[in-house]
Amino acid sequence: MFYVVLQLTRHLSRTNNSWLFAPSSLILANHYLPLNGALYAKARLGFYGRIMLINKHFRLSNFKLFIVLTILCMFEYSAFSILSMPYEELERNSDRYHPIVAYLFFIPTSLFCGILIVIFLKFLFKKNKGLSLTDIGIVDNSSPFSLGVIPFENISSITSITNSYVKFYRFMKFKTPELNINLRRRKKDANWWESKGLKGRLAKKFHTYTIPTRGFKDNQEKIVEAIRNHVEGRNIKVNTMDIEQIEKNFKAKRK
């Protein structure tokens, strides 16, 4: 996708900016280096072949991506350590891992983790990682498997999931806040769904596209508030669902 960056200083933001869309001015804008504290807007060619202005961009935390890579490397190291054991040693430890089971489980695990490590390393150095609010729609580049441009006309509603947890063992749990974008399935959007490939087919099947927000530098409340303000007047509902409160109410009713 071809990207165009329009960078405006505070001085230029007070003038008439209709010239920004002229081809010659775009070339000049690309080479204009803003001073400290300059205001800027980013534009890129969207799915519909028109310039897409980015009004707000939420960046991913590279530190959190590094944690994900560290965990994947630990799994890869564990799988490789077991696979590198001689067959006789695996047999001696058959109470822990049977040799055949060890090979059947850890060979695919090692390959899967290795592929994910390469994918996330490539994604780590990608520019414009994060979530963008544009005049066309929401652009999700928050993971290597993101859907990309989601036009407003394809969105029916957005649900903010809060106080949701993934539990490990009995006492360990991790908060997993997320945004659920509920999508429309209309015949006229067939080309858009096809352009998204396998990711689009999965989202189309479940009607919902999920964006985990734990990896962003900004908290979910700030992201949701920006989205609510941005989609105002576009016939898109923005709701909040507190999972913990729903569970408490359910338990109270059972009593």
Read off the DSSP letter of residue 20.
Answer: G
Q: Whole-angstrom Cα distance, residue 22 to residue 8?
A: 15
Q: Which of 118, 122, 124 is nearest to 65 (CA)?
A: 124
Q: How far apart are the first and last CA of the chain?
A: 56
In this structure, of 7-11, 63-67, 109-113, the range with the lowest mean pLDDT score is: 7-11
- Confidence check: pLDDT of 12 > 80: no
- Confidence check: pLDDT of 16 > 70: no
* Strand, helix or coil for residue 6: strand
Average pLDDT over residues 114-129: 90
The answer to whether the predicted template modeling score (pTM) of the entire model surpasses 0.75 is no
Q: What is the pLDDT of residues 145-194, one digit of tens each?
A: 888 889 998 899 999 998 887 776 666 777 888 999 998 877 777 788 77
* Residue 29: band (very low, low, confident or very high) from pLDDT cuts 50, 70, 90: very low
Name the architecture of domain 130-254: Roll (2.30)
- Beta-bridged to residue 138, according to DSSP, are 133, 150
- Domain ranges in the chain are 1-45, 63-124, 130-254
- Confidence check: pLDDT of 108 > 80: yes
- Confidence check: pLDDT of 76 > 70: yes
